[in-house]
Amino acid sequence: MGVMRLAIAIAGLSLVAGGGVPQTSQRVQHDATAIHDAMGTVATSTADPATVTASGPGGQPETRTTTTSTLAESGPATTARLPVRDGQTVGVAMPITVEFDKEIPPAARPEIQRRLSVETNPPQPGVWSWDPSGSQVWYRAPDYWKPGTTITVRASLAGVPMGNGTVGDADRSATVTVGNKVFMYVSNQAKHMQVYINDQLVRVLPVSLGKPSTPSSSGFMVVMSKEPQATFDTRGSADPYVVDVQWAMRLTRGGEYIHSAPWSVGAQGRYNVSHGCTNLSPTNAKWLFDQAHVGDPIIVKDTEDALHHGNGWTAWNLPWSEYVKGSALPVPPELANAVGVDPATGIPPTPTAAVATSTPSQRAATPGLDAVRPTD
């Protein structure tokens, strides 16, 4: 196969092939059915070099080499899933995520990461970072996505060796748009949730969190899914039950949700009775469900248990300086040294230029939550 013209995001750089003129990204293969043979095997790849010009966060051109693929037979497949769909509206903290049905060993991650592309309009450079288990990899910028941004992700993994005796099953892509900014801050001490919309505190909702034997996780999470109705079935656990709930929004893989809990309204704002979820009244749960997006940020504070890294989309639960260490490829220094959102408060840093021009009687505007800070 000849050299293809590609646009690929590698370690936060926007790369374009050939003479430095941005080109539309091309998928190495367009359809999983095109690479499966009659025996059910999947094509693997051999590499053809392509020289690319990179425009980094500072705008200076850099030259790198990437590869395109030709096909050869190989073995069973690893499925890579994109938890976003074309046309979806997502929250400002949405980590662009690729999830794998088999764990990816560290040695295979650099080549896989080279095949992952993110394009943002307006541009907002970010970094891929791996869950230590290798079951998922996230892409985010140091700061929240700007509302109205379009994000296109491409996982060109058809036939790529996955390091576990398998190859990638197919190429996948999706384009989403970032909605308005909705931010939730839950205080276990105060037993309430503060809801900010476009940096303005709009409501304070009483909550009941996890009781001491099943505490809620403290940490920086994002909404992973929204389900108008869901059934929680814990049969087989130490505390079995089956219950139908409404207005459920998942926060962790372990099963913590925000949801309507009419049975705990008397406890909400007073004490904790749940199995780890954030309980709201039916009216408040419906209102919040209607405001929120998948990818909205939520911080829970002061519970008995800290959020485990990888228990959900925990890309924001680490300081930026720690998050970038999860990249399998080198990160440009200007991006690696950026100052990110504080995972304890969800507040972005004040821009240096704004601080320099402030007078003692004027506080510089902070992007993100501006002057509003969550309180207990």
Q: Which residues are within 8 A (CB) of 171 and not within 5 positions of it... i.e. 6 or more apart?
A: 27, 28, 29, 30, 31, 32, 154, 155, 156, 157, 158
Report the relative pairing of strands 80-81 and 167-168 from DSSP bridges.
Answer: unpaired
**Residue 193 near residue 204 (C-beta atoms within 8 A):** yes
**Residue 169 near residue 42 (C-beta atoms within 8 A):** yes
What is the rounded CA–CA span in Å between residue 66 and residue 277? 45
Retrieve residue 73's tokens: 């037979």
Positions marked active-site: 259, 277
DSSP assigned state of 326: G
Q: How far lies 305's CA from each of 188, 200, 214, 254, in Å?
A: 11, 29, 9, 13
